């Protein structure tokens, strides 16, 4: 086993855990320190991201690559919700935004560089964790 396979086997779970941890801490920073109220879709994304910190932390410490089977459904669903949320903010599903809950889901609390929003950050984290977990799974199959 050489190259990327060895690196992913040794570090893939750590990288995934760090991505989930940064996403979780970022989410808490925006809501608790910046006082941004999360909308309904943000809550769904949190529900899918927060357990990843614990699951990936345990997998990282124990070097348990079999936990990928529990991580991938959470990350794939989280990415789907994030993509829908981004499209909602961009106006593709504008009529659905009014029924989102007490905080409208199409509100942009932040918009860095004209396209980086909170759902975009969450979606990026979900997609990166999915890719790293898939690569780790592939590296440990041999």
Angle between helices 4-28 and 40-62 (to 10 degrees): 140
CATH class, range 3-141: mainly alpha
Question: Directed axis angle between helix 40-62 and helix 118-140, to 10°?
Answer: 30
pLDDT for res 97 = 57
Buried b (16+ CB within 10 A) or exposed e, 66-80: ebbeebeebbbebbe
- 3-class DSSP state of 57: helix
pLDDT given for residue 5 in this prediction: 85
Q: What is the pLDDT of residues 58-94, one digit of tens each?
A: 999 998 888 889 999 999 999 999 999 899 888 887 7
For residue range 95-135, list pLDDT tens digits in order.
655 666 677 777 777 776 766 888 999 999 999 999 999 99
Distance CA 116, CA 95 (A): 22
Q: Which of 15, 18, 24, 31 is nearest to 78 (CA)?
A: 24
DSSP string, 80-128: HHHHHHHHHHTTTTHHHHTTS-SS-TT--S--BTTTB-HHHHHHHHHHH
Q: Domain segments of the chain: what residues?
A: 3-141
Q: Residue 137: name the closest of 77, 79, 67 by CA.
A: 67
The 10s digit of each residue's pLDDT in 30-69 is: 999 988 888 889 999 999 999 999 999 999 999 888 888 9
């Amino acid at each position: 086993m050489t190259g990327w396979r060895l690196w992913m086997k040794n570090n893939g779970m750590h990288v995934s855990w760090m991505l989930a941890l940064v996403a979780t801490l970022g989410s808490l920073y925006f809501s608790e320190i910046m006082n941004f109220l999360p909308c309904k879709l943000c809550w769904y994304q949190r529900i899918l991201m927060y357990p990843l910190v614990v699951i990936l932390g345990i997998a990282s410490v124990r070097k348990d690559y079999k936990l990928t089977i529990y991580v991938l459904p959470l990350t794939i669903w989280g990415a789907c919700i994030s993509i829908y949320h981004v499209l909602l903010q961009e106006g593709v599903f504008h009529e659905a935004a009014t029924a989102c809950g007490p905080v409208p889901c199409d509100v942009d609390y932040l918009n860095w560089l004209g396209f980086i929003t909170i759902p975009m950050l969450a979606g990026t984290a979900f997609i990166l964790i999915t890719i790293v977990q898939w690569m780790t799974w592939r590296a440990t199959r041999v």
